[in-house]
Amino acid sequence: MKTIILLGAPGAGKGTIAEGIRNESVFIHVSTGDMLREAVKNGTVVGRQAEGFMKRGELVPDDVIVGIVGERLDRGARDLAYMFDGFPRTLEQARLLDETLSRYASKVDKVFLLDAPRELLMARLTGRRVCRKCGQSYHVINIPPKKTGVCDLCGGELYQRADDSEATILNRLEVYSKQTESLISYYEKKGVLVRIDSARQRQDTVAEILAIAKPLIAT
């Protein structure tokens, strides 16, 4: 099993970069944010536990997150390649991921830290629109749909995520610097951290990551 992680602040581009990598490799994209939004939509137990935290831009408790990720890994085959997006977000989650992977005689292979200036993070998040039906992401200025408010792919309605309001964004950025940034030194010490400039065009960032990630699968 190979594992890569996309780490970075909200708005750094984890979701769109992950989509680019998924389209050009065998990495299986696991986004805890997407899994939680789906759970909220379906009104499951996990969804009910997570909803309030998500609305406020706070982190969902570690036991809930580790539960859904553990289940996802147990369902998958051992020899697959995983790409985590938005997970881990705390040191506790990172330690538990290490423990889970060690059960499969595996470890985290690379962590890509997506770096972008704060003004760009804000601009990306406030302009983000998402398709209600298929989940495709757009941006009102950078990646506009052909027809305002309508998904190019499936014709679904585009909406603004509840946690993409300005006040919640500020809280999410604060939560990132308080609870997630410590993961940078955790993975740096393990020698697996790679810093990636994600203020560039999406395809350049994707290409740089693929050049490092693809050879991992061959080994």
Stretch 78-117 residues interacting with ligand AMP (CB under 6 A) = 86-89, 93
Site map 140..169 versus ligand AMP, x via CB under 6 A: -----------------------x------
Annotated catalytic residue: which of 22, 56, 72, 161? 161
Backbone angles phi, psi at 158, to 5 degrees: -90, 140
Q: Which residue has the tokens 């570690």?
A: 62
Q: Which of 175, 216, 219, 218 is nearest to 83 (CA)?
A: 216
How many positions of this chain bind ligand AMP (CB under 6 A)?
18
- Report the C-alpha gap between 185 and 23 in whole angstroms: 30
> Any contact of residue 10 with ligand AMP (CB under 6 A)?
yes
First-to-last alpha carbon distance for the chain, in angstroms, is 11
Quote the least distance from Cβ 91 to ligand AMP, whole Å.
12
User: Is the Cβ of residue 3 or residue 93 nearer to ligand AMP in the bound state?
Assistant: 93
Residue 128 designated active-site: yes
Token pair, residue 58, equals: 């706070």
Please report which residue ranges of 13-115 form alpha helices under DSSP H.
14-23, 32-42, 45-56, 62-75, 91-103
Among 13, 40, 57, 82, binds ligand AMP (CB under 6 A): 57
- Report the C-alpha gap between 132 and 154 in whole angstroms: 10
User: Is the Cβ of residue 62 or residue 208 nearer to ligand AMP in the bound state?
Assistant: 62
Residue 14 designated active-site: yes
The residues pairing with 158 across neighbouring beta strands, listed in sequence order, are 131
As annotated, the active-site residues are 14, 89, 128, 161, 172
Interface with ligand AMP (CB under 6 A): 10, 32-33, 36, 53-54, 57-60, 65, 86-89, 93, 163, 172
